[in-house]
């Protein structure tokens, strides 16, 4: 099991920290001494996770704050509150997500739900938090992508899937976008000589509620293929599934622009992995970043 280095004195924000890989990452960061903000859409679920973490680690410093990544107003309120407090942010773990929503839904801002929740919301969160991140001595942003990113394609002609909606394609596009954001942020940090490190991860095939909650939106049910795959595809629990993200967030060996996943692709301890070829297209990444700034109204220039 990956041993998280000493995190005493550090402030960490973990999105989607009420369950799955997010809760596991928050638990282990808190156990290592970090002050952890559980950024969750439903505070009651966050408080339950907080209680579980404190039961396992009575000295844990954990607090719950509401954050709905499918609502840019919520993102602004969350970041404004942290910025007003002024404490440098050492770690941001972009973990929350939604997958395989059966029919097209929209966020509060009119974005396709998977693109908005998985990419545009985390993008706005990350950029808005840059002032706090850059005030920390060695800040790091770790963003969870997916094996599905390998099949993704950024469709600038139908980014919001209004012409044609496919649950799997929309998900793959959103997770490819996450990885491209990670790599472009690493390039920006190098260009501007920021101390910030941007690192990516994917959890392989991890048993969480991600693959169940998405397909049930709007009264849907997990398809027969999804149910069958859950029985026959190698998988692991959140304890191990969180390790690539924890490694990306805390290991001294995780270099900026690195990408980490399970050793045996779907399962196993974390190791460096090669990003999909499309994720390495710097021209597309720059265009996607500019499009995200336009859609969210959140720009790097306005934050610094």
Structural contact between residues 290 and 277, judged by C-beta atoms closer than 8 angstroms? no
Helix axes of 282-296 and 167-192: crossing angle, nearest 10 degrees:
100
Structural contact between residues 60 and 35, judged by C-beta atoms closer than 8 angstroms? no
DSSP per residue, 227-282? HHHHHHS--B-HHHHTHHHHHHHH-TT--TT-EEEETTSSSSSEEE-PPPGGGG-H
Q: Retrieve residue 278's tokens.
A: 């499309």
Dihedrals phi, psi of 18, to nearest 5 degrees:
-85, -10
Structural contact between residues 117 and 69, judged by C-beta atoms closer than 8 angstroms? yes
Angle, CA of 77, 82 and 85, to the nearest 5°:
125
Which residues belong to the active site?
171
């Amino acid at each position: 099991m990956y041993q998280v280095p000493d995190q005493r004195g550090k402030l960490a924000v973990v999105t989607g920290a009420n369950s799955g890989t997010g809760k596991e990452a928050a638990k282990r960061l808190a156990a290592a001494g970090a002050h952890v903000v559980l950024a969750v859409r439903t505070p009651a679920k966050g408080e339950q996770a907080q209680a579980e973490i404190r039961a396992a680690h009575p000295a844990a410093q954990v607090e719950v704050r509401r954050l709905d990544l499918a609502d840019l107003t919520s993102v602004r309120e969350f970041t404004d509150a942290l910025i007003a407090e002024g404490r440098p942010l050492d770690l941001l773990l972009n973990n929350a997500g939604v997958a395989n929503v059966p029919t097209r839904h929209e966020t509060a801002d009119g974005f396709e739900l998977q693109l908005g929740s998985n990419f545009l919301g985390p993008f706005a969160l990350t950029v808005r938090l840059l002032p706090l991140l850059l005030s920390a001595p060695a800040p790091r942003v770790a963003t969870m992508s997916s094996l599905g990113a390998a099949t993704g394609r950024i469709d600038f002609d139908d980014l919001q899937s209004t012409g044609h909606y496919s649950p799997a394609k929309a998900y793959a596009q959103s997770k490819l976008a996450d990885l491209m954001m990670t790599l472009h942020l690493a390039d920006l940090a190098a260009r501007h000589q920021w101390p910030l490190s941007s690192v990516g991860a994917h959890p392989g095939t991890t048993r969480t509620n991600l693959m169940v909650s998405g397909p049930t939106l709007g009264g849907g049910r997990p398809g027969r293929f999804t149910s069958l795959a859950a029985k026959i595809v190698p998988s692991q629990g959140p304890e191990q599934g969180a390790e690539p993200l924890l490694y990306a967030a805390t290991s001294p060996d995780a270099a900026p622009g690195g990408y980490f996943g399970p050793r045996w692709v779907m399962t196993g301890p974390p190791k460096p992995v090669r990003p999909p070829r499309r994720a390495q297209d710097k021209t597309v990444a720059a265009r996607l970043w500019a499009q995200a700034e336009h859609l969210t109204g959140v720009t790097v220039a306005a934050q610094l």
